[in-house]
């Protein structure tokens, strides 16, 4: 049986790194990407210089500025980050077609069976780092191991811009001195329970009796023990082999609470456009729509709509969404947050009725807008009342379980323009 070789790649301080490519004057300075403090902004990303002051992601921007008065804040350009990410993963795809992207700046590569062609996995990792740096001017951290779990921990261990190779058979030895919280999947609650049992290192967890862990953690106990030994057989899967997403959604917190229906309507249409574009790009259709409002008194309300036929059509999504918004806005309370979620996802493409020529024309318009947005960003060309709706600042925040699709203007990031993989093999 062939020895597996898995790489975990992580772009260091990615949003900040892209901004430094666009503006070299930011190099060496404490920089954060995020919203303005007067608009309830939070830190989306922080440079390593900023982290030395105790600044981290999700921190309120006002607090970050108090910790570091000379901090440089950049509002961010989500489309630029997406384009840079695409260029990086297109480059990675030249080394192996088995590339699984798990976020905009993180992914796994399976190099199993490529040794005769490419050489040792650790040498490939070094070439990847140099090529990403030379062609895109971004720093890449790489962990090398024979499974996903160990490669992920290895890359965390190597940050920033490092490379760490865990040789086959040494996984348990590498894990043993690490704190239990270093193991992906162990959060604050599980970490505290382990600490109460005087289990603070992965080596201790790996040597704990299986029956005892099962008594404390149930069926999760034996899994904890095996993972603490560096054992993991989860495959690296390219996008076409990944399990179906459960939902796609976006939400935004307003800088100022509002009950203006036109403002809410415009923002709702914008969020739905973003979610629908994501559906079309990934070849998905949605059968269920969920609308969420959080009011100024922090009371949240959600309402659902189920479509007779699955769709990715903006107008078919917007009409019931507006009806739900009309009902929910009747509470006559200022709105703090608005969110949409598309569920019941399935593979497929929209099929219009031969008798509804208007929907077919709208579909052609939407396809043209998608092409424009892919090339120039989403701000230059909008549909109807959305372009006329008065804008007001918002703070974007991804939601757990929802897939956030950021959109903003064009980027200056250099493009690699490399060909993607020619074939689609099964998961390794």
- Active site positions, annotated: 106
What is the distance between the alpha carbons of residues 304 and 239, in angstroms, rounded to a whole number?
29
- Residue pair 89/107 in contact (Cβ under 8 Å)? The answer is yes
**Sheet strand arrangement including 72-74:** 43-46, 31-34, 72-74
What is the distance between the alpha carbons of residues 160 and 139, in angstroms, rounded to a whole number?
8
Closest to 30 (Cα-Cα) out of 69, 59, 60: 69
- Residue pair 13/34 in contact (Cβ under 8 Å)? The answer is no
Tell me the CA distances in angstroms from 39 to 35, 179, 257, 309, one per residue in order.
7, 38, 11, 39
For the beta carbon of residue 360, count every other beta carbon within 10 angstroms.
Answer: 13
For 285, residues 6+ apart whose C-beta sits below 8 A from its C-beta are 279, 310, 311, 312, 345, 346, 347, 348, 349, 350
What is the distance between the alpha carbons of residues 258 and 147, in angstroms, rounded to a whole number?
50
For 324, residues 6+ apart whose C-beta sits below 8 A from its C-beta are 289, 291, 303, 305
Closest to 132 (Cα-Cα) out of 101, 159, 94: 94
Strand, coil or helix: 164: strand
For the beta carbon of residue 51, count every other beta carbon within 10 angstroms.
Answer: 15
* H or E stretch at 264: helix 261-281
Tell me the CA distances in angstroms from 399 to 215, 278, 396, 427, one per residue in order.
34, 16, 10, 29
- Residue pair 252/271 in contact (Cβ under 8 Å)? The answer is yes
Q: Burial, 287: exposed, middle or buried (Cβ in 10 Å; 0-12, 13-18, 19+)?
A: middle
């Amino acid at each position: 049986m062939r020895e597996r070789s898995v790489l975990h790649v992580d772009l260091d301080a990615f949003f900040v790194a892209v901004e430094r490519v666009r503006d070299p004057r930011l190099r060496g300075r404490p920089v954060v990407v995020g919203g303005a403090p007067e608009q309830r902004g939070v830190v989306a990303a922080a440079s390593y210089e900023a982290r030395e002051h105790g600044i981290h992601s999700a921190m309120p921007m006002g607090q970050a500025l108090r910790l570091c008065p000379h901090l440089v804040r950049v509002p961010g350009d989500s489309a630029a980050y997406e384009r840079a990410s695409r260029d990086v993963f297109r480059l990675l795809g030249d080394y192996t077609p088995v590339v699984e992207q798990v976020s905009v700046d993180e992914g796994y590569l399976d190099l199993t069976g490529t040794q005769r062609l490419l050489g040792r996995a650790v040498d490939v990792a070094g070439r990847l780092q140099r090529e990403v740096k030379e062609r895109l001017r971004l720093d890449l951290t790489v962990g090398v191991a024979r499974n996903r779990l160990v490669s992920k921990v290895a890359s965390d261990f190597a940050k920033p811009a490092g490379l760490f190779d865990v040789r086959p058979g040494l996984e348990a030895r590498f894990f043993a001195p690490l704190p239990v919280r270093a193991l992906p999947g162990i959060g604050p609650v599980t970490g505290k329970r382990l600490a109460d049992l005087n289990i603070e290192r992965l080596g201790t967890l790996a040597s704990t009796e299986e029956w005892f862990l099962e008594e404390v953690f149930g069926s999760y106990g034996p899994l904890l023990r095996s993972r603490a030994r560096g054992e993991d057989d989860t495959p690296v899967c390219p996008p076409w082999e990944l399990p179906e997403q459960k939902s796609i959604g976006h939400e935004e917190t307003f800088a100022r609470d509002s009950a203006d229906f036109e403002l809410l309507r415009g923002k709702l249409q914008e969020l739905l456009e973003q979610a629908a574009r994501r559906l079309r790009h990934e070849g998905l259709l949605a059968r269920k729509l969920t609308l969420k409002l959080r009011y100024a008194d922090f009371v949240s309300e959600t309402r659902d709509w189920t479509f007779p036929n699955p769709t990715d059509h903006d107008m078919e999504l917007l009409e019931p969404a507006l009806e739900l918004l009309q009902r929910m806005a009747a509470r006559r309370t200022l709105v703090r947050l608005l969110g949409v979620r598309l569920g019941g996802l399935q593979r497929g493409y929209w099929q219009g009725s031969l008798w509804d020529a208007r929907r077919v024309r709208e579909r052609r318009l939407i396809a043209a807008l998608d092409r424009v947005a892919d090339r120039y960003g989403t701000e230059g060309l909008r549909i109807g009342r959305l372009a006329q709706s008065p804008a007001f600042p918002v703070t974007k925040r991804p939601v757990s379980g929802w897939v956030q699709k950021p959109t903003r203007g064009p980027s200056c990031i250099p493009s690699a323009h490399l060909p993607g993989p020619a074939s689609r093999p099964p998961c390794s």
